[in-house]
C-alpha cells in the first residue's frame, strides 16, 4: 500500500469533503478513507449492495465506530479493528492496512498530534519548550 494519486477531483467535491471532514474533526484524507471503508463494508465483492449489512449499520447508529484517536484504549482498539476488517477473505487487510485504517498514515498521525499540541498550547494546558519539547502547565 502506498500513497498514490488516483486523479483529480472537482473543486466543489474537494470543498464538500473538506467541510464534512472538518465537522467530524478529521482530515479530508481520513474522512475519504473512512467513506471508502464503509462502502467496502456495504458492497459485496460482486458489486451488489449487501442490504442486510447496510440495514445493520444504519440501525446500530454508532455500532461501526471508526475511532482513529491515538488515545485508543485496548477495548476501543479491538472494536476499531473489528469495525474495519471485512468479512470477505478476498478483501482481507494486511496488518499495515489495519494499522492505517485504525490510526491513519504516519503523516496523518503526525498532523493529528501537531494539531492537538497546538490546541493544548492555545488553551494554556501545555507549554512548548525551546528544544521542541512540551510540558503540562499547572492548570
* Chain centroid offset of residue 15 CA: 18
CA distance linking residue 116 with residue 25, whole number of Å? 11
Q: What is the pLDDT along the chain (139 residues), one digit of tens a residue?
A: 455 555 677 888 888 888 888 888 888 888 888 888 777 777 665 566 666 666 666 655 444 444 444 444 455 778 778 888 888 888 888 998 888 888 888 888 888 888 888 888 888 888 888 888 888 887 6
* Dihedral sign, Cα of residue 110, residue 11, residue 47, residue 2: negative
Domain residue extents for the chain: 11-104, 105-139
**What pLDDT is stored for residue 40 in this prediction?**
74
What's the pLDDT score for residue 36? 81
Amino acid at each position: 500500500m502506498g500513497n498514490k494519486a488516483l486523479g483529480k477531483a472537482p473543486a466543489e467535491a474537494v470543498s464538500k469533503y473538506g467541510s464534512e471532514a472538518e465537522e467530524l474533526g478529521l482530515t479530508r484524507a481520513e474522512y475519504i478513507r473512512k467513506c471508502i471503508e464503509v462502502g467496502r463494508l456495504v458492497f459485496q465483492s460482486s458489486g451488489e449492495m449487501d442490504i442486510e449489512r447496510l440495514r445493520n449499520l444504519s440501525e446500530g447508529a454508532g455500532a461501526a465506530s471508526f475511532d482513529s484517536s491515538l488515545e485508543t484504549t485496548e477495548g476501543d482498539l479491538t472494536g476499531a479493528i473489528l469495525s474495519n476488517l471485512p468479512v470477505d477473505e478476498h478483501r482481507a487487510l494486511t496488518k499495515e492496512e489495519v494499522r492505517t485504517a485504525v490510526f491513519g498514515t504516519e503523516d496523518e498521525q503526525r498532523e493529528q498530534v501537531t494539531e492537538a499540541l497546538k490546541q493544548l498550547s492555545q488553551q494554556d494546558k501545555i507549554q512548548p519548550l525551546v528544544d521542541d519539547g512540551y510540558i503540562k502547565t499547572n492548570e
